[in-house]
Amino acid sequence: MMMWSNFFMQEEDRRRREAAGRRWAQGQHQLTPEREGKIKLGLLLSAVGATLAVLAVGTEFWVELNTYKTNGSAICDAAHLGLWKMCTKRLWQADVPADRDTCGPAELPGEANCTYFKFFTTGENARIFQRTTKKEVNLAAAVIAVLGLAVMALGCLCIIMVLSKGAEFLLRVGAICLGLSGLLLLVSLEVFRHSVRALLQRVSPEPPPAPALAYEYSWSLGCGVGAVLVLLLGGGCFLLLTLPPWPWGSLCPKQGPRAA
């Protein structure tokens, strides 16, 4: 009988310790309303950056290539391209603004022909206005952009886990991932800029002669630049939330009420 009573007492004591441990863990993982509000605000900022990044990577208005308008012709040619595909357009010169020397902008209505880049499948370079892409540079820009999106998704997932599960140790991981995704997108933008320059320089010697081109970066690349800035800002804000409060408290000491 003594043995059974000791067994039941030990079992009851173990259950009490487990319950106390669970209550302590829940208390540790509970965020204060002020801190939770700051994290939610940072997550909203990161969501804006993520939306801009997905919009930039998924659209093909990174750069516009425009031929110059010619006298005696009712049409002119333009093209716009992104990371995955390009579109050539034949526009009516009457629709082109009179103050422009070149064809465009690409948003004007016209006969369009859009194709995906073949260097993702068959490894062939694309030809645009008697010019040839440099597939290695275009591939590098696309791969870096996709890697940036993957790291960005991981960072957002970490922040969501902080809010839902109270796992505050993931806050620093999320901050690093968001900042790293911004840097990767910035590198992708720079690599794409080099791919555009390489395209303009790789003129085919075969007839007909290559037309003179002017280029301008378009709204998709602008979304990418905005995404870089917002993601870096969001990562920096989350990183500040992981720092201990005492450095800021020493810089801004609280003043007690003055004696009358």
User: pLDDT tens for residues 76-121?
Assistant: 888 999 999 899 988 888 888 888 888 878 888 888 888 888 887 8
pLDDT of residue 149: 96
Query: What residue type is assigned to position 206 of the chain?
Result: E
Q: Report if residue 237 sits inside a domain.
A: yes
Q: Report if residue 197 sits inside a domain.
A: yes
At residue 122, does pLDDT exceed 70?
yes
pLDDT of residue 125: 87
Structure token digits, residue 172: 């620093």
At residue 155, does pLDDT exceed 90?
yes
Q: Report if residue 79 sits inside a domain.
A: yes
Does the pTM surpass 0.75? The reply is yes
Q: How many CB atoms are located within 10 Å of the residue 155 CB? A: 28
Query: What residue type is assigned to position 44 of the chain?
Result: L
Q: Report if residue 22 sits inside a domain.
A: no
pLDDT of residue 209: 81
Q: What is the CATH number of the domain that holds 45?
A: 1.20.140.150
Q: Report if residue 6 sits inside a domain.
A: no
- Strand residue runs (E) in the chain: 63-67, 75-81, 85-92, 111-116, 127-128, 131-132, 213-217
Q: Report if residue 1 sits inside a domain.
A: no
Range of the domain at 110: 33-242
Q: How far apart are CA 66 and CA 207, in angstroms?
A: 19
Q: Are 171 and 238 in contact (CB under 8 A)?
A: yes
Work out the mean pLDDT of the chain and round it to a whole number. 83
Q: Report if residue 23 sits inside a domain.
A: no
Percent of the chain topping pLDDT 70: 82
Number of domains in the chain: 1
The region of weakest confidence among 29-38, 60-69, 90-99 is 29-38
The region of weakest confidence among 129-133, 206-210, 237-241, 243-247 is 243-247
Q: How many CB atoms are located within 10 Å of the residue 18 CB? A: 10
Residue-wise pLDDT for 67-78, tens only, equals 888 766 788 888
Structure token digits, residue 101: 């020397």
Residues 6+ apart with CB under 8 A from 130: 203, 204, 206, 208, 209, 210, 211
Q: Report if residue 5 sits inside a domain.
A: no
